Amino acid sequence: MPSEFRLYNTLTRQVEPFAPADGACVRMYTCGPTVYNPAHLGNFRTFLFEDLLRRVLRLRGWSVNQVMNLTDVDDKIIKRANERGLTITQVTNPVIEIFHRDREYLRIERAESYPRATEFIPQMIALVQALVDRGVAYQAEDGSVYFAIDRFPSYGKLSRLDTREVRPGARVSQDEYSKENAQDFALWKAAKEEDERTGAAWDSPWGRGRPGWHLECSAMAMSLLGETLDLHCGGIDLIFPHHEDEIAQSEGATGKQFSRFWCHGAFLLTDGTKMAKRLGNVHTVADLRENAVSAAAVRHFVFSTHYRQELNLSADALEGALNAVRRIGTFARRLEEARGGTPALAEAARIAVESARAALFDDLNAPEALAALHTFIGAANAELDRGGTDESAMQEARRAFALIDGVLDVVPEEVSVEAGLAERVEALLAERKAARARRDFAAADAIRKSLEAEGIAVEDLPTGTRWTKVR
């Protein structure tokens, strides 16, 4: 199947054809979490977008080498470690564990590597050295090393911001470091007392210190993926300054293009505003689990809006996703159990795959892929109602569903059944069957109602009665 894959590139502000430079493996770097606090759903929206991207890249036929960094040394981590009398590692280790648990809950595929900033200090120092050698970085009086943006002419090409002036209304930097130029950013920060105390200081040619935030990503990306990446992704708020600075550092050191494509996911909002820790309106994966919001529902919710569009988290939207995903789950089971199909089923399957691929390859149009899936489910259900004995049509339908769901991954998980429950339910259902046989529907309905009250759905099918635990 030919189909060109197209992706929006922040560098050019256009949707462009994309393919990996070597034609086979996409080398992508995705900015990961700063691990001082469990990541919130806003962070996960971005990670979900990246999960979608890597799955679509594979659907297109490429392999993927994804790196997601874990920023395990930074101001907030040091602050927290200091407050609690811990080392930064003692702060970050448990948070990293939570990150992976949340990641798995949301069915976000494991990236090929999760480098920790603290494990790449030598590479970072080498990068700073290269920049100093090339004359685009300097050590200031405070001992820190800064990148001199006016010695890097293309600075600003990604964000297209006029960095010359800081206007009224802009947040003003309260920098405690001394720099030549207000826009220069720290590559290497001279160690302070609390850095030493929390294990956040390393030896370097410029004295004890620690890496600047931007430096971490450049060093890890280039160490693990080479000097020119195919793709670099993150949240839209990283465009400036983080990604702009990464470009400056990396290209300033190598003279080569750092990343061919830059992709940014839009924000997740809560109550109409950005979800951010400092605004105190964050929701986490833990909140979702408490409210029995399945991963499938979250994915459906997130993928129902294009990744470059803001998305507002609301109870109504989540509820809608939960219901939609229930229909998908019912259909998935029905597909497994069906014996045969019809020619029209096969035709619907072909259309679904074609539409979903076209949508996904067109700048990750997940909402449209979801629509293709739903349209397929409607058509397939109608055909299945009609019966049919065509085995190959059935297989084609299963393949189509597996292919699309292999990207979206929106079938709700089965609710686990605790020991002993099955026997108890079966016993009650036997009683109910007897009641129905003697047409004592009041008794039969009472049993069904009591089971439903504890989260057991009872359905009478032509083939017999089936029960499922729904929560």
The 3-state DSSP class for residue 322 equals helix
Q: Are 234 and 46 a contacting pair, CB within 8 Å?
A: yes
Between CA 237 and CA 242 the distance in angstroms is 8
Q: Are 234 and 242 a contacting pair, CB within 8 Å?
A: yes
Q: Which is nearer to RNA, 15 or 24 (CB)?
A: 15
308: amino acid identity, one letter: R
Q: How far is the CB of 325 from RNA (least distance, A)?
A: 8
Per rule CB under 7 A, is residue 459 in the interface with RNA? yes
Q: How far is CA 137 from CA 147, 214, 411, in A?
A: 4, 14, 51
* Sole window of 82-90, 103-111, 189-197, 458-466 interacting with RNA (rule: CB under 7 A): 458-466
Q: Which is nearer to RNA, 254 or 465 (CB)?
A: 465
* Sole window of 108-116, 132-140, 156-164, 221-229 interacting with RNA (rule: CB under 7 A): 156-164
Q: Give 228: exposed, middle or buried? Use CB within 10 Å, 0-12, 13-18, 19+.
A: middle
Q: Are 372 and 355 a contacting pair, CB within 8 Å?
A: yes
* Sole window of 42-50, 101-109, 114-122, 135-143 interacting with RNA (rule: CB under 7 A): 42-50
Q: Using CB under 7 A, which of 34, 284, 294, 342 touches RNA?
A: 34
Per rule CB under 7 A, is residue 242 in the interface with RNA? yes
Question: Binding pattern to RNA, positions 261-300, x when CB under 7 A?
Answer: ----xxxxx--xxxxxxx----------------------
Q: How far is CA 190 from CA 169, 180, 181, 201, 202, in A?
A: 31, 16, 18, 8, 10
Residues 293-322 that bind RNA (CB under 7 A): 304-306, 309-312, 314, 316-317, 319-320
Q: Please work out the total of residues on this chain that contact RNA, with binding judged by CB under 7 A.
A: 88
Order of strands, sheet of 268-270, starting from the edge strand that comes earlier in the sequence = 273-274, 268-270, 311-313
The 3-state DSSP class for residue 202 equals strand
The 3-state DSSP class for residue 329 equals helix
Q: How far is the CB of 419 from RNA (least distance, A)?
A: 25
The 3-state DSSP class for residue 289 equals helix
Residues 181-200 that bind RNA (CB under 7 A): 182-183, 185
Per rule CB under 7 A, is residue 108 in the interface with RNA? no
The 3-state DSSP class for residue 294 equals coil
Q: Which is nearer to RNA, 25 or 469 (CB)?
A: 469
* Sole window of 86-94, 128-136, 218-226, 235-243 interacting with RNA (rule: CB under 7 A): 235-243
Phi and psi dihedrals of 229, rounded to 5? -85, 160
Per rule CB under 7 A, is residue 446 in the interface with RNA? no
Per rule CB under 7 A, is residue 112 in the interface with RNA? no
Per rule CB under 7 A, is residue 142 in the interface with RNA? no
Residues 321-340 that bind RNA (CB under 7 A): 323-324, 327, 330-331, 334
Q: Which is nearer to RNA, 133 or 180 (CB)?
A: 180
Q: Are 77 and 33 a contacting pair, CB within 8 Å?
A: no
* Sole window of 203-211, 219-227, 418-426, 441-449 interacting with RNA (rule: CB under 7 A): 441-449
Between CA 171 and CA 301 the distance in angstroms is 33
Q: Which is nearer to RNA, 25 or 403 (CB)?
A: 403
Q: Using CB under 7 A, which of 101, 160, 289, 399 touches RNA?
A: 160
Residues 363-382 that bind RNA (CB under 7 A): 365, 367-368, 370-371, 374-375, 377-378, 381-382
* Sole window of 4-12, 98-106, 150-158, 444-452 interacting with RNA (rule: CB under 7 A): 444-452
68, containing H or E segment: strand 63-68
Per rule CB under 7 A, is residue 86 in the interface with RNA? no
* Strands annotated E in 124-280: 137-139, 145-147, 185-190, 209-211, 229-235, 259-265, 268-270, 273-274
Query: Up-side HSE of residue 113: CA atoms within 13 Å toward CB?
Result: 14
Q: How far is the CB of 464 from RNA (least distance, A)?
A: 11
